[in-house]
């Protein structure tokens, strides 16, 4: 069972480069989320999509854009990468109600 799949797993970028992180889920969930995790901090929500065709900002959206391509796929784009965006990025999906979100294994992104 694949669950939530993120690509790539690792990436190194130079400052100013652009990059799209991909996420796909096979659980038929309506909602999808992008988080970042930094040392000593919990996961912080960047953007989310409550349903296909909608996206909303989370806690830390600056410097990012998202696209909900279809029900399965939710991508995160860095238009001009900055060293402050060095982090581990997690994608998650879930349903409404008292249901947990399910996470992918993350993309480890380093920006030099």
14 vs 97 by CB, closer to other proteins: 97
C-beta closer to other proteins: residue 58 or 63: 58
* Interatomic CA distance for residues 10 and 100, integer angstroms: 26
Give the SS3 label for residue 85: helix
Place of tokens 């854009």: 65
Residues near other proteins (CB under 8 A) are: 4, 31, 33, 35, 40-45, 48, 50, 58, 90, 92, 94-96, 98-106
In sequence order, the β-bridge partners of residue 48 are 33, 56
Min dist CB 80 to other proteins, Å, is 27
């Amino acid at each position: 069972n694949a669950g939530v799949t993120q690509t790539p797993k690792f990436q190194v970028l130079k400052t100013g480069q652009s990059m799209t992180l991909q996420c796909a889920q096979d659980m038929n969930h309506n909602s999808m989320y992008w988080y970042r995790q930094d040392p000593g901090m919990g996961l912080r929500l960047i953007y989310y999509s409550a349903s296909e065709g909608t996206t909303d900002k989370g806690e830390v959206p600056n410097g990012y854009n998202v696209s909900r391509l279809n029900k399965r796929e939710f991508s995160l784009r860095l238009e001009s990468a900055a060293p402050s965006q060095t982090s581990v990025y997690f994608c998650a999906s879930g349903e409404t109600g008292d249901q947990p979100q399910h996470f992918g294994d993350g993309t480890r992104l380093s920006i030099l």
